[in-house]
Structure 1
Amino acid sequence: MPTTLVLASSSSYRRELLTRLQLPFVTAAPDIDESRLADESAQAMVARLAWQKAAALATQYPQALIIGSDQCAVLGEQILGKPLTHEQARQQLQASSGRIVEFLTGLCLLDSQTQSFQLEVIPFQVEFRELQAAEIENYLLREQPYDCAGSFKSEGLGISLFNRMHGDDPTALIGLPLIRLAAMLRKQGYLIPSAV
């Protein structure tokens, strides 16, 4: 069994999530182009990027299990990225008001020694309630979720924007589906909860 567990991400959200499994790991930022390919579906994009993020670190960590993850939010036919600005976040939340946004999270666990990998896309849906302009403004000023796809933090005040959520793994919404990841790690021989 590879001894090193590597999270191929610079995301503080994913790092915090992975600590919940109480396994030793290191993080490294993969250097890849995350642009969407022409005519690529959202599902295909997150699967490809999750694998590419893990594969990008295989040479640097030749005897490791490398975790790659990528997420996008889909509203109708539109992919919602990270808003980055207050105005973009306002537009995203206005567009999401009263509608269902589907989050797709690609998850890859790559054994860099054998080049074998497990790859899945985990869906999670959020149904927004009808949001008033003042609510959107107040929320954005309080939580400033400009680095979050969909313009909210479900683990914080963002939960107040929803009517309901639907999915098998609530951590998928934050960016790293721990239920599926734990299953993948067990398949690779990791005992979770760990005795270490």
Structure 2
Amino acid sequence: MTEPTLPALYLASTSTYRRQLLAKLTPQFHTAKPDVDETPLVNESAEQLVRRLAVAKAQAVAASLSTGLVIGSDQVAVFNNDIIGKPHTAENALTQLRRFSGNCVTFLTGLALVNAQSGNIQVIVEPFNVSFRTLTDAEIIAYIKKEQPLDCAGSFKSEGLGISLFNKLSGDDPNSLIGLPLIRLNQMLLNEGVNVLLN
């Protein structure tokens, strides 16, 4: 893996959504797929899970570098104390969206920034609440067919047609809902001496 010119920034993810988000801050980054087992631990809360995996992903990539900053992120949805992941199938997406209809779902995004040289770790968990309007089965089925949100936690794409499913969104950073809290990431980069406006 060749290192880019300074600032050396790596995204420990191959997610198209996260790449697009990070590109809002800077075009100067590489991506790498972290080799991390994402299985939840026994009695691990959703917040503990996304925090642990965000750090683990960043550290997995940082371990192969001598310098650079590595971004790790992980996201889950939480509803009625259940951790909701990616549906992977249309049937699972239908089940998820039926449960969410008329209810509020909390999305938790873990974000970590690891300095490969110093070993310094910054990590936060960013919450974001999504209130779904009451949906009919016909609406849910049509949405799934149109947007195929099978690789998205919670079975929707808020940056696309998924916005039509909601009554209200509430949180500090709408980017966190897509998978990368850019406001908090920018502060982490500033803490490491990287100002995206000046680089």
What TM bracket, shorter-length normalisation?
Answer: over 0.9
RMSD (CA atoms): 0.9
| 1:121-176 superposed Cα distances (whole Å, 9 cap, x missing partner) | 00000000000010001101100000000000000000000000000000000000
Where does residue 120 of structure 1 map in the other structure? 124
Distance in 2, matches of 1:46 and 1:22, equals 24
- % identical aligned pairs: 54
Which runs of 5 or more structure 2 residues have no equivalent in the other structure?
1-5
| 1:63-116 superposed Cα distances (whole Å, 9 cap, x missing partner) | 010000000000111111100000000000000000110000000000010111
Where does residue 169 of structure 1 map in the other structure? 173
Describe how 1:10-159 pairs up with structure 2 within 5 A. 10-159=14-163
Distance in 2, matches of 1:142 and 1:127, equals 21
Please report how far the alpha carbon of residue 61 of structure 1 lies from its aligned counterpart in structure 2 after TM superposition. Answer: 1.6
| 1:186 pairs with one of 169, 185, 190 | 190
Query: Please, what TM-score do these two structures have when normalized by structure 2?
Result: 0.95
Q: Return the letter of the residue paired with 1:160.
A: S
Q: Is the 8 A contact 2:7 2:194 kept in 1?
A: no
Where does residue 3 of structure 2 map in the other structure? none
Task: Tell me the matched-pair count.
Answer: 194
Q: Return the letter of the residue paired with 1:18.
A: L
Distance in 1, matches of 2:7 and 2:117, equals 11
Please report how far the alpha carbon of residue 23 of structure 1 lies from its aligned counterpart in structure 2 after TM superposition. Answer: 4.1
Q: Could you list the runs of 4 or more consecutive aligned residues of structure 1 that deviate by over 6 angstroms after TM superposition?
A: none
Distance in 1, matches of 2:160 and 2:27, equals 25
| 1:28-57 superposed Cα distances (whole Å, 9 cap, x missing partner) | 000010000000000000000000000101
